């Protein structure tokens, strides 16, 4: 029995348990959704998936139920199972939650992991900058998710860890193209640098404000885009109390 991942050659697996099979099917489907192989709204036909992944319908259905519990797919009695998509309200609600999540994560990262901040996060920022020329939106998005996930890891809070799926969902599933445009990427990386500096300084108040401001800028950008406007290239305004914590430039 084998399982084929999107864009990969078939791989042989020896399944030791039913649970492992379901987990692996879910992992492959999850990765395909995150990479855009299955875009939002895509109908996931079980017969086709079963043939494609070389698995029976029963573990496939269980894997789809797992993804449904994560909010990655939706099911209805008419169309079947499809990749989750976000209308205007759902999109803004998700990012409003992210604003709170990222702010708290930055605060607790400053309080619990300041000494590891530069070592862990600076290489991720450097990797993000490397995606700008030539512009690689897929790599930029992947490193962006890694960056925000690493801050949650530094926060060392099991309840924040439980929200990691939201970071991936908003960044890799729900986000419109404007949020991963070259125009927005440069200012966003600059915001990341200021967040890292605040975390490394151990200042939870400043780190939280910058973490929230970073996502709030995304919310404002989304609102402008949804209203048919442009102008998402700007970086967030830095509160006066934060200026002294900016990272020195060479």
- 190-225 per-position pLDDT tens digit: 999 999 999 999 999 999 999 999 999 989 988 887
The answer to whether residues 44 and 61 touch, using CB atoms and an 8 Å cutoff, is no
- Tracing tokens 């895509």 back to the chain, one arrives at 42
pLDDT computed for residue 117 by the predictor: 98
- In the chain, alpha helices (H): 18-34, 46-53, 57-69, 88-113, 117-129, 137-155, 158-161, 164-168, 182-201, 204-226
pLDDT interval class at 231 (50, 70, 90): low
Query: Residue 4: pLDDT above 60?
Result: no
Q: Computed from CA positions of residues 45, 62, 37, 160, in that sequence, does the dihedral angle turn out positive or negative?
A: positive
Range with the poorest average pLDDT among 13-27, 42-56, 66-80, 226-240: 226-240
pLDDT interval class at 149 (50, 70, 90): very high
pTM score, two decimals? 0.76
**Structure tokens, 142:** 């992947």
Query: Residue 243: pLDDT above 70?
Result: no
The residues near 127 (Cβ < 8 Å, ≥ 6 apart) are 139, 143, 146
In this structure, the strands spanning 11-12 and 73-76 are unpaired
The residues near 102 (Cβ < 8 Å, ≥ 6 apart) are 148, 151, 211, 212, 214, 215
The residues near 200 (Cβ < 8 Å, ≥ 6 apart) are 110, 114, 115, 117, 118
Find the length of the chain.
250
Query: Residue 46: pLDDT above 80?
Result: yes
pLDDT computed for residue 35 by the predictor: 84
Query: Residue 102: pLDDT above 60?
Result: yes
pLDDT interval class at 179 (50, 70, 90): confident
DSSP structural state of residue 115: G
Q: What is the mean pLDDT of the chain?
A: 85
pLDDT computed for residue 236 by the predictor: 42
The residues pairing with 75 across neighbouring beta strands, listed in sequence order, are: 81
pLDDT interval class at 250 (50, 70, 90): very low
The answer to whether residues 221 and 178 touch, using CB atoms and an 8 Å cutoff, is yes
Measured between alpha carbons, how far is residue 108 from residues 117, 184, 194, 216 in Å?
A: 12, 27, 16, 19
State which H helix or E strand residue 172 sits in: none
pLDDT computed for residue 132 by the predictor: 97
Query: Of 6 and 214, which is predicted with more confidence?
Result: 214
């Amino acid at each position: 029995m084998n399982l084929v991942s999107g864009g990969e050659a078939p791989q042989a697996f020896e399944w030791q348990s039913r649970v492992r099979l379901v987990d692996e099917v879910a992992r492959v489907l999850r990765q395909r959704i995150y990479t855009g192989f299955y875009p939002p709204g895509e109908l996931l036909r079980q017969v086709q998936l079963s043939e494609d992944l070389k698995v029976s319908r029963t573990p496939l259905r269980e894997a789809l139920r797992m993804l449904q519990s994560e909010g990655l797919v939706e099911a209805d009695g008419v169309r079947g199972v499809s990749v989750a998509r976000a209308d205007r309200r759902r999109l803004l609600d998700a990012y409003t939650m992210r604003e709170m999540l990222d702010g708290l994560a930055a605060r607790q990262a400053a309080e619990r992991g300041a000494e590891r901040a530069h070592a862990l996060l600076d290489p991720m920022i450097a990797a993000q900058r490397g995606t700008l020329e030539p512009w690689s939106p897929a790599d930029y998005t992947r490193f962006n998710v890694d960056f925000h996930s690493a801050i949650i890891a530094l926060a060392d809070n099991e309840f924040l860890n439980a929200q990691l799926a939201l970071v991936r969902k908003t960044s890799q599933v729900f986000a419109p193209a404007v949020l991963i445009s070259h125009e927005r990427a440069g200012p966003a990386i600059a915001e990341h640098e200021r967040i890292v500096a605040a975390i490394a300084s151990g200042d939870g108040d400043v780190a939280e404000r910058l973490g929230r401001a970073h996502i709030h800028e995304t919310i404002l950008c989304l609102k402008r885009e949804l209203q048919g406007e442009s102008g998402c290239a700007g970086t967030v305004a830095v509160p006066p109390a934060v200026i002294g914590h900016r990272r020195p430039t060479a």
